[in-house]
């Protein structure tokens, strides 16, 4: 009798494990994102546009959303039509699904066009050149840049785009909540304002944590050099009020170093100073928040000063 009970118990465990394995195999979970940050200028002034395009799948249910901001030097922040969640009935993941407000032609590696008749804009992006790649298990991310032209309200605005692409399997922030996802994230998407906008170059840097936990990675793409970079220190030179138990940074100072090579880590070769022009608060959860800031400043590279302009993405 005891042997029979043990046999029944063993079979029950095996059936349970089999069922769990089948359920997991039948429950795909994934998240994809394509993020474009544009900085450009015409005779009227400068224009900044950022559009994050996210989609995911969870238990064969598909999601999609746009997040976008637009800033004009004369008019300030412009409200965009069509941001937020939208349907993804065809279950498109490996490219950006169209919505009523935004349509996409092409691929980042071969050139891509973002069209939004609802917002009277079209962004034409040259083939993006990958500058950074990270692969860690089920997460793959890459960053690149390219020349681009924005057509907006009758204006033709040449400039630059910095791009982020992300594929994350067994994870989907559109359908599930994750604690500790962001740790004082600061992303800087900057154009170096040299000569005409069609010849500007780029500086990208992201940091998380602070002090001893600071982590950073980025790239510098100039006519003289193309470097993978990081900062060992980032100081907030000015801070502003926030509705909660935190403060927004409004000014930054940091040194830049080249990524480690076989010769080790070289001393800083550049320094970056930024000041906020304007900030748009997106979300607030009392102990932290999400905001986009337009920033300007300068980067000194091997003793030479270059003006910079772009976005700072802030997540506390």
Mean pLDDT of the chain: 91
Please give the model's pTM, rounded to 2 decimal places: 0.90
How is residue 75 annotated by DSSP?
A: T
Residue 313 host element (H or E): strand 304-315
What is the spatial distance between Cα 39 and Cα 160, in angstroms, rounded to a whole number? 6
Looking at residue 198, what is its pLDDT?
87
Query: Is residue 38 very low, low, confident or very high in pLDDT (cuts 50, 70, 90)?
Result: very high
146, two tokens: 């390219």
2.60.120, 2.30.31, 2.40.370, 1.10.150: which CATH number matches 28-178?
A: 2.40.370
Domain over 181-316 is classified CATH 2.40.128: yes
Per the CB < 8 A criterion, the answer to whether 40 and 147 are in contact is no
b/e for 81-105, b at 16 or more Cβ within 10 A? eebeebebeeeebeebbbbebbebe
Whole-angstrom distance between the N-terminal and C-terminal Cα of the chain?
61
Question: Average pLDDT for residues 262-268, to the nearest whole number?
Answer: 79
Summarize pLDDT for 137-163 with one digit per residue, the tens.
899 999 999 999 999 999 999 999 999
Question: Average pLDDT for residues 108-131, to the nearest whole number?
Answer: 97
Question: Average pLDDT for residues 263-284, to the nearest whole number?
Answer: 93
Summarize pLDDT for 164-175 with one digit per residue, the tens.
999 999 999 999
Residue boundaries of the structural domains of the chain? 28-178, 181-316
CA triple 185-186-191, angle to 5 deg = 150
Question: Average pLDDT for residues 111-140, to the nearest whole number?
Answer: 97
Looking at residue 262, what is its pLDDT?
63
CA 230 to chain centre: 17
């Amino acid at each position: 009798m005891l042997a029979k009970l043990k046999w029944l118990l063993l079979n029950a465990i095996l059936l349970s494990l089999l069922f769990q394995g089948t359920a997991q195999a039948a429950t795909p979970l994934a998240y994809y994102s394509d993020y474009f940050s544009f900085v450009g200028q015409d005779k009227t002034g400068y224009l900044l546009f950022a559009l994050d395009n996210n989609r995911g799948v969870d238990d064969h249910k598909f999601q999609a959303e746009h997040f976008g901001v637009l800033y004009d030097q004369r008019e300030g922040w412009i409200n965009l039509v069509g941001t937020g969640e939208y349907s993804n009935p065809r279950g498109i993941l490996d490219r950006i699904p169209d919505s009523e407000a935004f349509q996409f032609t092409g691929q980042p590696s071969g050139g891509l066009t973002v069209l939004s008749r609802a917002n009277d804009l079209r962004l034409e992006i040259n083939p993006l050149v990958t500058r950074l790649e990270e692969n860690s298990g089920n997460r793959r991310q890459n960053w690149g840049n390219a020349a681009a032209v924005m057509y907006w309200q009758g204006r033709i605005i040449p400039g630059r785009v910095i791009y982020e692409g992300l594929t994350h399997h067994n994870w989907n922030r559109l359908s599930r909540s994750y604690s500790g996802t962001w740790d004082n994230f600061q992303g800087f998407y900057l154009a170096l304002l040299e000569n005409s906008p069609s010849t500007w170059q780029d500086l990208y840097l992201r940091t998380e944590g602070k002090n001893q936990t600071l982590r950073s990675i980025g790239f510098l793409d100039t006519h003289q050099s193309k470097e993978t970079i990081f900062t060992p220190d980032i100081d907030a030179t000015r801070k502003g009020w926030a509705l909660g138990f935190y403060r927004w940074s409004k000014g930054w100072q940091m040194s830049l170093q080249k990524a480690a090579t076989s010769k080790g880590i070289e001393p800083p070769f550049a320094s970056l100073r930024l000041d906020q022009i304007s900030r748009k608060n997106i979300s607030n959860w009392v102990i932290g928040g999400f905001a986009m800031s337009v920033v300007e400043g300068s980067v000194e590279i091997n003793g030479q000063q270059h003006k910079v302009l772009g976005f700072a993405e802030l997540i506390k």
